[in-house]
Amino acid sequence: MRLKRLFCTFILMGVGYLYGQNKQILYDFYEIPQSLMLNPGVKTSEKWHAGIPVLSGLSLQAGTSGVTVNDLFANDGIDFTTKVRERVLDAMTRRDDFSSTVQIELLNIGFRGRNRPDDYYSFGMYLENDVVVYWPKDLALLAFEGNGGNNIGRSFDLGDLSLRGEMASVFHFGINRKLSNVLTVGARAKLYSGVYQFQSIQNTGSFITTQGQNNIYVSSIVADMQLQTAGIEPVFDILDENESGEGKELTRLFSKRAFLGGNLGLGMDLGFSYNPDPQLTITGSMLDIGFMNNSKDVKNYTLRGNASTEGVTVFLPEDINNVDNDLWQELVDDIEESLPYEENESTYISLRPVKVYGSIRYDFGEGGESSFENCGCAVNKQGRRTEGFYRNSVGGQLFMIKRPREIQYALTGFYQRRFGRVLSLKGTYTIDKYSWTNVGLGLNLQAGSVNFYIMGDNLMSYRNIADSHYASLQFGINIISWNDN
């Protein structure tokens, strides 16, 4: 039971190492091969690349738009229940969320077509865990305060329950094609192998207690709620069955599902880079346009109907001959019949969280050593000049992600500085619902054929990481070949 609770906490709250959906530092950082994963149409110049397995793309991030760890757990001598009331119940709204994504790249390889040097192919596999839990404000208030006292007459919105999460391994293959000196496009096909999925979205309903028409109170509930799960129950079964061997069994179960033994899905990424002017680049991409078909280990829970009660009612003379002693139980049964809680195993489709990136970049500061000086591919040369000639870049980026309740936005301004082909730095400032003070910094180091990058987000929060709404760290190591060596 304890392990089960731990598992749920890990999934729902994203405790552990988390990877943000918005990778604004990596986006259009075309010196890094992993930028292909954010825009399959990004400019590519390498001959081939190979990520170091597991270490090619790894990052950590935690995000909350509401309360921070420090808000609640700072050793400040304030009563904890008071803190929860003032900083969570009174402050957070149904739009606040806890969201996270873990992404670990297991394989990432790319190569330029021998016969079509304008094409750059890439393929690989990564594991992704994506969870978003909206703050169920009214349900939390109901649990904390109840329906009595000052809450008589208050309608609790059952639609406040909204959450979605899934873990899947993603096998992908992408083609990046330079159509002309001004336009590069790309597409990536994805095959998802689901480890687990759950979602409780589009719930509606309310619960209210008011002054009754006959009795003192009338309590009414209208509900159309559903929790869909796939792959969760066998995990709980393993955790329930034994305390000692669950680690091995879980690993076996997760491995099987991650390698095409679970629920399957299909998806694609699309992207482009457009240079209307040698110094101006406009890019855009749409990622994870896809779905999962959840048909294995499905367990769905529903609560649909409506009920209203003023307690046991006796009207005389109509009920004079009713000598039944079980009036209360009959009332409970009637409510359960009007508002049935049911389980089913129906297959369902879940949509992937679609993400959209867009950017505009202006390059300036002619005279830097070209990043692709030694590139044997001759792909991104424009006449006698090679791209990456400019030392500086400034620009703006837009990020959007479809969440169950809304489309979340993030706006980023950035400055990038290149020091020859060895070192490149990118600084970002991002505004989103999690933070208005998000300053990030990325470093890309090219030591011979070894490429190393490290990126930190929301650096100002590192002064007190527990008080941060959002923090991340990501890094990776690749081997890149720019020529035939």
Q: Footprint of other proteins on this chain (CB under 8 A)?
A: 17, 54-55, 58, 60, 69-70, 72-75, 79-81, 84, 142-149, 151-152, 209, 212, 214-219, 309-317, 320, 323, 325-329, 454, 456, 462-467, 471, 473, 475
Strand partners, 446: 451
What are phi and psi for residue 337, nearest 5 degrees? -75, -35
Q: What is the chain's alpha carbon radius of gyration, rounded to the nearest angstrom?
A: 27
Inter-residue contact 218 to 212 (CB < 8 Å): yes
For the CB of residue 62, give the shortest distance to other proteins in the complex, in Å.
12
For the CB of residue 444, give the shortest distance to other proteins in the complex, in Å.
16
Q: Which is nearer to other proteins, 219 or 386 (CB)?
A: 219
Q: Which is nearer to other proteins, 79 or 484 (CB)?
A: 79
Neighbouring C-beta atoms of residue 90, cutoff 10 Å = 9
For the CB of residue 430, give the shortest distance to other proteins in the complex, in Å.
18
Run of H or E residues at 475:
strand 470-481
Q: Which is nearer to other proteins, 60 or 360 (CB)?
A: 60
Q: Which is nearer to other proteins, 219 or 279 (CB)?
A: 219
For the CB of residue 271, give the shortest distance to other proteins in the complex, in Å.
29
Q: Locate 478 and state its tokens.
A: 């690749």
Q: Which amino acid is at 153?
A: G
Q: Which is nearer to other proteins, 137 or 188 (CB)?
A: 137
Which is nearest to 236 in space by CA: 292, 264, 198? Answer: 198
CA distance 379 to 99: 40
Residue 153: left (phi > 0), alpha (psi -120 to 50), or beta?
left
For the CB of residue 57, give the shortest distance to other proteins in the complex, in Å.
12
For the CB of residue 370, give the shortest distance to other proteins in the complex, in Å.
31
Q: Which is nearer to other proteins, 1 or 316 (CB)?
A: 316
Which is nearest to 300 in space by CA: 363, 356, 227, 202? Answer: 227
Q: Which is nearer to other proteins, 152 or 411 (CB)?
A: 152
For the CB of residue 307, give the shortest distance to other proteins in the complex, in Å.
13
Q: Which is nearer to other proteins, 157 or 166 (CB)?
A: 157
Q: Which is nearer to other proteins, 76 or 343 (CB)?
A: 76
Q: Which is nearer to other proteins, 77 or 367 (CB)?
A: 77
Long-range contact pairs involving 403-410 (C-beta distance under 8 Å, separation at least 24): 403/97, 403/99, 403/132, 403/353, 404/132, 404/134, 404/162, 404/163, 404/164, 404/199, 404/201, 404/202, 405/94, 405/95, 405/134, 405/162, 405/201, 406/95, 408/432, 408/433, 409/433, 410/22, 410/24
For the CB of residue 216, give the shortest distance to other proteins in the complex, in Å.
4
Q: Locate 239 and state its tokens.
A: 């955790």
Look-up of token digits 């079509």? 116
CA distance 166 to 350: 10
For the CB of residue 331, give the shortest distance to other proteins in the complex, in Å.
10
For the CB of residue 138, give the shortest distance to other proteins in the complex, in Å.
13
CA distance 101 to 123: 21
Which is nearest to 429 in space by CA: 441, 445, 447, 444? Answer: 441
